[in-house]
Amino acid sequence: MEYHDKVLKCSECGAEFVFTAGEQMFFADKGFKNEPKRCKACKAKRSENSGSGTYQRAETKTTCSQCGKETTVPFKPTQGRPVYCRECFQQRRTLGSPA
């Protein structure tokens, strides 16, 4: 198949950009079905923002299964599985005790 440069419109900023024949061949080789929606500047800005740590870890208050102390853990505990405070977790880790 022969590819020709195409002029596309960015869905984010509205600017026109060129989808080159080489880029089209790359997309075809990778099996991509859709044409790009954003110009290179908007694509770069979007990827820069997505990797900036916008994800927040869930902190859950719970009680340590070993010592009974109230603690917070960076996950939602599963019923029936023990949860340990930092000190008890480290202690079990160094002893090599099974969970």
**What does the pLDDT look like over 40-68, one tens digit per residue?**
999 999 888 766 555 566 788 999 999 99
Q: What is the pLDDT of residues 34-44, one digit of tens each?
A: 999 999 999 99
* Residue 17 · residue 7 · CB < 8 Å: yes
User: Residue 97's pLDDT band (boundaries 50, 70, 90)?
Assistant: low
Write out the H or E segment, with its range, that includes residue 43.
helix 40-50
User: Residue 94's pLDDT band (boundaries 50, 70, 90)?
Assistant: confident
Joined together, the tokens standing for residue 67 give 């010592």
The closest alpha carbon to 1, from 21, 31, 18, 30, belongs to: 21
pTM of the model: 0.49
Residue 28 confidence (pLDDT): 94
